[in-house]
Amino acid sequence: MLGPLEDAILARLKELQKAVPRLRLDTYGGELSDPDLLVTLISKGPSILITTPKISFKQRSNRHYTADLVFRLVISAGNERKLLPKGGDPGSYWLWESCLSLLTNWQHKEGGSMVRPTEFANLVNGKFQAQHLSVLGQSFALALDWDVPEPDWPELERIAMEYHVPASNADEVA
- Provide the Cα torsion 58, 59, 63, 64; round to 10°: -60
Among 56-65, 66-75, 92-101, 147-156, name the one with the lowest average pLDDT: 147-156
Rg (CA), the chain: 24
Encoded amino acid at 60, one letter? R
What is the pTM (predicted TM-score) of this model? 0.75
CA gap 82, 94 in Å, rounded: 8
> Residue 144: how many CB atoms within 10 A of its CB?
18
Residue 33, pLDDT above cutoff 90: no
